A and B are shown apart, each in its own frame.
Chain A
Amino acid sequence: MSAKQVLIVIGNGMVGQSFLASLVDSGLNDHYKIVTFCEEPRAAYDRVHLSSFFSGKTAQDLSLAEPDFFEKNGITIYIGDKAARIDRDNKTVTSSKGVAIQYDKLVIATGSYPFVPPVPGHDRKNCLVYRTIEDLEAMTVAAKTGKVGTVVGGGLLGLEAAKALKDLGLETHVVEFAPRLMAVQLDDAGGAMLRHKIEQLGVLVHTGKNTSIITDGEQCVNKMCFADGEELETDIVLFSAGIRPRDDIARDCGLEIGPRGGIAINNQCLTSDSDIYAIGECALWNGMIYGLVAPGYAMARTVAADLAGNEASFTGADMSTKLKLMGVDVASIGDAHAKTQGALVYTYQNGASEVYKRLVVSQNKKQLLGAVLVGDASGYGTLLQYCLNGIELPENPDALILPPRSDESVGLGPDALPNSAQICSCYDVTKGAICQAIEAGSTTLGSLKEKTKASTGCGGCAPLLKAVMNCELAKHGYVVNTDICEHFAYTRQDLYNLIMVEQIKTFDELLENHGKGKGCEICKPTVGSILASYWNEYILEKEHIGLQDTNDTFLANMQKDGTYSIVPRITGGEINPDMLIALGQVGKKYKLYTKITGGQRVDMFGARVDQLPHIWKELIAAGFESGHAYGKSLRTVKSCVGSTWCRYGIDDSVGLAVELENRYKGLRSPHKLKFAVSGCTRECAEAQGKDVGVIATETGWNLYVCGNGGMKPRHADLFATSLDKETLIKYIDRFLMFYVRTADRLQRTAVWMENMEGGLDYLKAVIIEDKLGLCEQLEQQMQYVIDTYHCEWKTTIEDESKLKRFRHFINSDKADDNVVFVEERGQIRPADEEERKHFKIVEVA
C-alpha cells in the first residue's frame, strides 16, 4: 500500500473507543491513518459504571483509554471538537471548530442522548439528565442546596439514577408513566415485587403518572403537576425516559434513517453509503436500537473485521440483563414477556422472602425462551446458558426456579457448556477463551479477569467464571496448588483456622501435627504472623524468634548493605518540637541518614545491628515507641491537619488518626496496612489510596477500603457513609480481623478483595450485615489484640538475654568492615562497590 487511506471515526464513546482498540489489535492502524472526533471534553470513559463516580471514582478512574493510547498508535484525536457535517460527494468531514478532513472510510459512533419529554418547564433550573460526567457534576451541585430529587422514568437507568439521588442524601421519588417499574424487562408481578422492595429502601414510587407541566414550587425549586391532578414538589428533576439515537449528522447528509430514528445498517454495519458504517447506540439494525454496550462492541468488532477483509456479520444480540438495583437483584433473559407463540410459563413467588421468578419455555418444554428473576438472581448464569446455547431443559423445568429441597444442585455444570458459550456478555468472553487463558497460566480469579476482561463489566458472570475456572483447573489435573509451601498442604486461611480451633501456640506444634520437614522462609514467617495476630505474644520469644524475617528479628528494616533503618511511631504524623529535637539528637549522635517518609514519619538509616538497642534506649527515654515499620502490620495513619487548623476542615482528622493508630498499632497482618484520615472531601491525606481511608463529611465519616498505592495503584471503594465514630471503629475492627483471618500471605487488601467471590458487596454483607454471623467474634479478637499491645522495643531492651543477639559477631566486639559510608548532600550513604574498594585500600595503607 502506497499512501495510507484515511479512516475517520465520529464519536469517541464506549463503542467508538472499543472500535479503535479492535483496529489496533488487528494492526489496521498500520494501514489507515485514523482520525477521531470526540465531542466531550475527555476521551472515552466507562459510562456503564458512571454511577461509581458518586462512590469516589474519578473521571480518570473511569477512563477507557490509556493516556498514551492515541499517540502510541498513531491515532489523531480532536478532543472537545464535534463533527458538524459530512459531505459525501467530496468525502469530507468538517468539525465545529473548522477542521476539515477527507476520508476513505467513515464510521459513525455518536451514541444516543437522553430523551426529555417536551412538557412545559422541562428546561427549568435543576432539570437534569444522566449520561455524562458533566451531568453528574451538575447533579452534585444541585444536590448541595436541594432536599428532594425526582427521577422521571422507572426503567433500568432511572432506578440507577434514583440510587444516586438517594446516596446524595435526597428524599427520592421515581415517577413512571407505565403501570409498573422496568416495564421493558419485567412482567406485572415482577415489577410489583421490585417496587415493594425499593419502597422499603425509602424511595417513593409513583406509577401510571403523566407529567403535564413543571412550574415553580413552594418549598422546593420545582413542582411537577400530573395529568390526574396530583402534584409533587421537588428540587431536582432527573429525566431518564429513554434514549434517542444521535442520527442528525447522518440525516443531514442523506443517509437512510429509520422511521423512528436510528442510522439504518446492514449485517456488516454499513449504512446506505458503502463507505460509511454506523455502530453503537446510534445504529438501527433490523428495526432495533440496542441500548446496551455489548451489542455495540459486537458491531465494532464486525466493522474492524470487515475492514481487515475478513468475513464478519452482526446478527443481533442478546438483551438479557442482570443487575443489582439498590441492593435488589433483578434479571431478565430473552423473551421475558412470553411473546413467542405457544410459550409456556412457570412462575414461582415467595412473598415471605420477596422472591419472584418466572420461566418462559417452548411449547415442547425443551428450550428455555426467557426468564424474569427478582430478589434472587443467583440462577441467572445457568438460565442464560440454557437460553443462549439452546441446551435441552431437564424434565421438570420448574426445578430450575424452585428452591432446592435437597442438597442437590440443579444448576448446569460448567462442563455441560460448549466452548462457544458466552460467559461474559459485557466483553463477549467465551468459555473457550477462558480455558485458553487458564492454560496460559492464569489460575486465579484476579488474573483471569485481568487477562480476559471477563467479569470486569457488570460483574454478573463472576460466579459462573469461577465455576468454569475451578472445573477447568480440576479437569486439566492442574490441581490448583494452594498449599502455602512444601511443608504444609494448607492455605494461609487453613493454617489460621487450625491454629484457632486447636489453640496451637507454637510453630513446632503446628509442624508436628499438620506439616512435614523443617519449614522454610515462606511458612515460618506466615505462621509467625498468624500466631502473633492470634495470640499477640512477644515475637522474640525463644519459640518464635526463628520464625521471623530478619526485619522482625531485629525490629528494624534491613537495607542493601546489611545496616538497618529505624522508624519510631509518630501517631497521625503529629509530633511536638521536643520529640522532634530528640529525634534529631539521636540521629546526629549516631550519624544516621534521616529522611521523611511518605507516611509522615522520620526514617533514620545506617544503624549497625549492635547500635540498635542503644539507639532505642534513647528513643524510648524520649517517649517514642516502636513504629512497626519492619513488620507486616499497621504502618501509619496519615492525616491532614483537619478542622483544628484548616479553614475547610469539617472534622478533627488528626484526632481520629491518632486514635486509630493507637488502637491498631502492633496488629500483625498478612501484609502491611496503611490508613489515612482527611478532614474534608478535598482529601489532602490521600485516604482513597489506602487500605483503610476515612474522610470527614457534614453528615459523618465516610469509610473507604482496599485502596493501594505502590506498584499497582487502586482507588479505594466507598464502603459506608455518614458514620459516627463508634460505628466507624466497629466496621474497621471487623474489616481488619476478617482480612487477617482470610487473606493469603503477602496479599494486600486490594488483591484480597479482588479475588473474593462477590467482591465489595460480599464484604459489605459480612462486615455490615453480619451475613456470616462472625462480627462479634471478630470484634472480640480485635479487642484482645488491643488489650495485649506492648511496645516490642521496650520489651526487648528490658531483657538482657534478648540483647545478646544484637551484635555483629558472637565472639568479637568488632563491627562489620564491609559497611562503609561516604558523604552525599551533607549526610551519609552506603559506599558503592568502587568506593568501597578504594576506601579499603586507603585504610589498609
Chain B
Amino acid sequence: MAHWVDVCSVDDLQPNSGVCALIEGQQVAIFYMPKEKTVYALNNYDPFGNANVLSRGLIGDIKGQPVVASPLYKQHFNLQTGACLEDETVTIPAYDIRIENGRVKVSINAE
C-alpha cells in the first residue's frame, strides 16, 4: 500500500525549478513545472558528485524526456524514472508524487 506523506503547500515549490524536502529521513528533490501542472520527485543525492544537490539543478527536457541536470558535473536524470541519460547502469530513486487540494504529497516507500 502506498503511504502518502504530506510535505508542503504548492506555493512552497519553486516554479520551473526544484526544492528539497526531508521525508522520513530521506532527502527528496521536488521539481515543479507549473505550465504543465506537473511535479516530480527524485532522491536528492547525486551519485556522481556524492553530494545532496539535485534539487538545485536546472530542469528541462532532452528528446522529450523531462530531466534534471546535476549542478556539479551536469549528468542528466529522467525526472519520472531516475535513470541517468549518460550512464545506463545508474538509476537513482524516483518517488510517486501528487498534488491534492493545493498540498504536495509524496510516497517514498512504494513497492
Contact = CB atoms under 8 A, between A and B. Distances in A.
**B is bound to A:** yes
Interface of A: 486-487, 508, 517-521, 523-525, 542, 545-547, 549-551, 553-554, 558, 560-562, 609, 804-805, 808-812, 814, 816, 818-819, 833
Contacts of A550: 53, 56-58, 71
Given A562-B51, A809-B22, A521 B56 contact: no
Contacts of B36: 518
A811 B71 contact: no
Contacts of A549: 58, 71
Given A508-B35, A804-B12, A808-B52, 16 more contacts: A517-B61, A518-B61, A520-B67, A524-B58, A525-B58, A545-B17, A546-B16, A546-B58, A546-B59, A553-B17, A560-B49, A560-B72, A561-B50, A562-B56, A609-B56, A809-B22
Contacts of B60: 487, 517-521, 523-524
A208 B67 CA distance: 76
Q: Is the interface of A mostly helix, strand, loop or mixed?
A: loop
8 contacts: A518-B60, A519-B61, A520-B60, A558-B56, A609-B56, A810-B19, A811-B21, A816-B27
Contact of B52 (A554, A560, A804, A816): A816
A549 B72 CA distance: 10
Interface of B: 7-8, 12-17, 19-23, 27, 30, 33, 35-36, 45, 49-53, 56-64, 66-67, 69, 71-72, 74
Residue from A487, A525, A809, A819 with most neighbouring chain B CB atoms (10 Å): A809
A649 B27 CA distance: 57
A718 to B, nearest CB: 37
B63 to A, nearest CB: 7
Contacts of A523: 60
B49 A810 contact: no
Contacts of B45: 818
Given A546-B59, A560-B51, A816-B27, A521 B74 contact: yes
B56 A520 contact: no
Given A517-B64, A553-B17, A562-B51, A814 B22 contact: yes
Nearest to A508: B35
A524 B74 CA distance: 14
Contacts of A520: 58, 60-62, 67, 69
B21 A521 contact: no
A558 B71 contact: yes
B21 A809 contact: yes
A811 B61 contact: no
A425 to B, nearest CB: 43
Contacts of B19: 805, 810
Contacts of A517: 60-61, 64
A810 B30 contact: yes
Contacts of A833: 50
B14 A805 contact: yes
Contacts, number: 101
B46 to A, nearest CB: 8
Nearest to A805: B14
Contacts of B69: 520-521
Contacts of B71: 549-551, 558
A837 to B, nearest CB: 12
A554 B61 contact: no
A546 B35 CA distance: 13
B14 A545 contact: yes
A633 B16 CA distance: 24
A128 B4 CA distance: 89
Contacts of A805: 14, 19
A641 to B, nearest CB: 38
B53 A812 contact: no
Contacts of A809: 20-22, 27
A816 B25 CA distance: 11
A508 B44 CA distance: 27
A833 B67 CA distance: 28
B92 to A, nearest CB: 15
- Identify the 7 closest CB pairs spanning chains A and B, nearest first: A546-B16, A520-B60, A550-B71, A562-B51, A521-B69, A521-B58, A550-B56
A545 B69 CA distance: 15
A546 B22 contact: no
Contacts of B27: 809, 816
A19 B61 CA distance: 54
A630 to B, nearest CB: 12
A525 B16 CA distance: 13
A788 B102 CA distance: 38
A545 B15 CA distance: 9
A78 B17 CA distance: 64
A821 B36 CA distance: 41
Residue from A542, A562, A816 with most neighbouring chain B CB atoms (10 Å): A562
A810 to B, nearest CB: 4
A550 B32 CA distance: 16
Residue from B7, B22, B36 with most neighbouring chain A CB atoms (10 Å): B22
Contacts of A804: 12
A782 B53 CA distance: 36
Contacts of B56: 550, 553-554, 558, 562, 609
A694 B57 CA distance: 38
A818 B51 contact: yes
Contacts of B16: 545-546
A440 B46 CA distance: 35
Residue from B27, B33, B51, B52 with most neighbouring chain A CB atoms (10 Å): B51
Contacts of B20: 808-810
A542 B69 CA distance: 20
Residue from A508, A517, A833 with most neighbouring chain B CB atoms (10 Å): A517
A595 B28 CA distance: 33
A518 B17 CA distance: 12
